[in-house]
A and B are shown apart, each in its own frame.
Chain A
């Protein structure tokens, strides 16, 4: 009481000067609480799990964002390619029907040579267009196929997140086992899988990661391959 009164007085009179003993006491007590909290967390092994959670949750979030981005890109490529391929097929179809009707009409009536020439030329033009359209359609179909590559990449990322969730769950279960009565604590070490990281979800901003095939080629060149 005396202390707090003198603290108040001093604060009113000279706010800049603090009551050193009271201040130290407060810091001591905060320090003590922090130490106790830290010790009990560490005693439970929770600090490591907290660390891991703090690191893994944003990582999982970024990986899911990557999945969303890749699936969106693939969907767009598929839609673009089918949008472009559809009119080509429509052309092929409608022009074929027109030619069919024309040939039927010509063959039904006795005709002069010039009419034959005309429709023969139209047929040739159609065949030429068919050639080009079929080639274009094939290229678009290839692109549709290539767009499906997301399934491999996002599949790998989803696998990573699934194993990460399992890992967290396993660790929490391990805490329960380790600290239940009559159970010896045991520590397990995860194998080092540094060379199997799956797709890089943000290659531009990750050190020691290549962001493009050119960079792969440059690196191999620099190694003499």
Chain B
């Protein structure tokens, strides 16, 4: 497991899903979790600094997850942030678009706790290798 103090931002317009992801992260040992209900709010929070990981939905009002991801990758201050997409969008072109935009992982809803755990572990592992 990575640092338990890793600061997460969970972005989803449905509060139920934000709570579920937050609880799953807590169960995995990550207690430092904040929430945002769309891409605009999320970007504002991210620019405020301190975040180390983003878990985001795709389909949201105001700014969707893909646009948010593109903004993150275009901003030198936050472009290094790992972004895991957790979304109901299941078309192949969605997955390809997310990968091309620089997503670090893609989890399709409905998902299990084990899947989230596995994807997080994989991303942390890759990050460690990259920084080593």
Residues of A within 8 A of B (CB): 142, 145-146, 148-153, 155-156, 194-200, 203, 208-213, 216, 219-220, 223, 225
The 8 Å CB contact of A219, one of B64, B96, B113, is B96
In this complex, how many residues of chain B approach chain A with their Cβ under 8 Å: the count is 33
Measured CB to CB, the residues of B under 8 A from A are: 12, 14, 16-17, 19-20, 23-24, 27, 58-59, 64, 66, 88-97, 99, 106-113, 115
Residue contact B88 to A223, C-beta cutoff 8 Å: no
Given contacts A156-B59, A198-B59, A203-B90, contact A150 B95 (CB under 8 A): no
A195, B91: Cβ atoms under 8 Å?
yes
Specify which chain B residues have a CB less than 8 angstroms from the CB of A196 in the assembled complex: 58-59, 64, 89
Residue of chain A at shortest CB distance from B58: A196
In the complex where A148-B16, A198-B59 touch, is A210 in contact with B90 (Cβ < 8 A)?
yes
Q: Assuming the A-B contacts A146-B20, A146-B113, are A152 and B88 also in contact, with contact meaning beta carbons closer than 8 angstroms in the complex?
A: yes
Is B92's CB under 8 angstroms from A208's CB?
A: yes
CB distance from A139 to the nearest CB of B (A): 9
**What's the least CB distance linking A204 to chain B, in Å?**
11
Known A-B contacts A199-B109, A200-B90; the reply to A223 vs B99 at CB < 8 A is yes
